[in-house]
Amino acid sequence: MSLRSFKRRHLLTLLDYAPSEIVRILEVSREMKRLYYAGMRSLDVLRGRTLMLIFEKPSTRTRVSLEVAALELGMNVIYSNPSELQLGRGEPIKDTIRVLSRYVDAVAARVFRHESLEEMARYGTIPIINALSDKYHPLQALADALTIWEIKGKLKDVKLAFIGDGNCNVARSLIVIGAKLGWEVRIVGPRRYWPDEKLLKEVQEDLKRSGGNIVMTEDLEHGVKNVDVVYTDVWVSMGFESETEQRIRELGKYQVNMNVMKIAGDDAVFMHCLPAKRGQEVTDDVLESSRSVVWDQAENRLHTAKAVLALLLS
């Protein structure tokens, strides 16, 4: 497996990645997974390098998959929440990242404001990896694309309906990756939760090139008909807790239940980035059904994290 040809860079949104580069990340992810199941979990290709994780919000999948990925590639890992750093006492991000750039080889950060990642990327001299911001969740989208590739046998011409908060980080990153790869991404939910104009403009060129399409509708039945994937995420993302009541009220009609899966058609699988709020955006029976591929999705966070680190840092 050659890891040579990838340019050293940040991974903040995937908007600046060519479709061929995304396919390459996914191919390397598949190879990482194959090696993993062949008993070769430890690859040591990044021996002696250090990954730092800075998380402003809780995380299970992103934190642990990145840590294990880094360790299995031979890296050292340092985890910190900002309150343990001088950041928590007001040291500017731009100062912090210039100092950390002298110690570690990459920073993966989970932040409330996407602008914090942009500031890190502007001032840091090491790759900055978005471990989730209010706007994007690129590592999740990569794992999702890998899962769809494995289960549907295709990376192109995928029809995916995202139900609920269509402007949340996960939905926005699915739009970005879908536009690159030529998917039909349907955003199904109240108009107030449709993706913002700026993002839709940013993906226009990719859509033209790939033949992909973004459809937005408030009509649940119409939106899920004949899709490959029914996808949802929590109605109240981290950082939006003050809107909880309003969101539950406005998104309440858009729960993914067995009836929705039936309308979607027999071939549709159910996906969720997790953690899920059973009884809100999805019912327990859908999540636990044979059509749910959420555990494969979660597993693929590890293989894609390994590919990302190997390609960005080797």
Member of 14, 17, 56, 62 binding ligand CP (CB under 6 A) = 62
How many angstroms from the chain centroid is the CA of residue 313? Answer: 19
The nearer residue to ligand NVA, 123 or 240, going by C-beta atoms, is: 240
User: Does 140 participate in catalysis according to the annotation?
Assistant: yes
* Contact yes or no for 29/304 (Cβ under 8 A): yes
* Residue 60 interacts with, from ligand CP, ligand NVA, none (CB under 5-8 Å by kind): ligand CP
**Phi-psi domain of 271 (left: phi exceeds 0; alpha: psi -120 through 50; beta: other):** beta
Member of 65, 147, 167, 169 binding ligand NVA (CB under 6 A) = 169
User: Does 168 participate in catalysis according to the annotation?
Assistant: no
* 3-state SS, residue 195: coil
* Residue 309 interacts with, from ligand CP, ligand NVA, none (CB under 5-8 Å by kind): none
Query: Residue ranges of the alpha helices (H) in 124-241?
Result: 138-152, 169-181, 197-202, 204-210, 220-224
Q: Where are the beta strands (DSSP E) in the chain?
A: 50-55, 76-80, 106-110, 128-130, 159-163, 184-188, 213-217, 229-232, 269-272
The nearer residue to ligand NVA, 13 or 237, going by C-beta atoms, is: 237
Residues 226-245 that bind ligand NVA (CB under 6 A): 233-234, 237-238
Residues 230-269 that bind ligand CP (CB under 6 A): none
Exposure b/e, 77-112, CB count within 10 A at least 16 = b = beeeebeeeebeeeeebeebbeebbeebbbbbbbbe
User: Does 273 participate in catalysis according to the annotation?
Assistant: yes
Residues 107-166 that bind ligand NVA (CB under 6 A): 132
Member of 273, 305, 308, 312 binding ligand CP (CB under 6 A) = 273
The nearer residue to ligand CP, 62 or 232, going by C-beta atoms, is: 62
User: Does 44 participate in catalysis according to the annotation?
Assistant: no
Instruction: Name the active-site residue from 247, 255, 273, 297.
Output: 273
Smallest distance, ligand NVA to C-beta of residue 237, A? 3
* Contact yes or no for 13/180 (Cβ under 8 A): no
* Residue 169 interacts with, from ligand NVA, ligand CP, none (CB under 5-8 Å by kind): ligand NVA
Residues 243-262 that bind ligand NVA (CB under 6 A): none
* Contact yes or no for 170/137 (Cβ under 8 A): yes
- In whole angstroms, give the CA distance from residue 12 to residue 17: 10
User: Does 233 participate in catalysis according to the annotation?
Assistant: yes
Residues facing 270 on adjacent strands: 230, 292
Instruction: Name the active-site residue from 10, 105, 140, 303.
Output: 140
- In whole angstroms, give the CA distance from residue 102 to residue 268: 48
* Residue 304 interacts with, from ligand CP, ligand NVA, none (CB under 5-8 Å by kind): none
Member of 59, 130, 133, 304 binding ligand CP (CB under 6 A) = 59
> Which residue has 């570690």 as its token pair?
104
Dihedral, CA of residue 176, residue 182, residue 187 and residue 192, to nearest 10 = 40
User: Does 204 participate in catalysis according to the annotation?
Assistant: no
> Which residue has 């809780």 as its token pair?
58
- Interface residues with ligand NVA (CB under 6 A) are 132, 168-170, 233-234, 237-238, 273
- Residues found near ligand CP in the complex (CB under 6 A): 59-63, 132, 140, 273-275
Active site residues: 110, 137, 140, 233, 273, 301
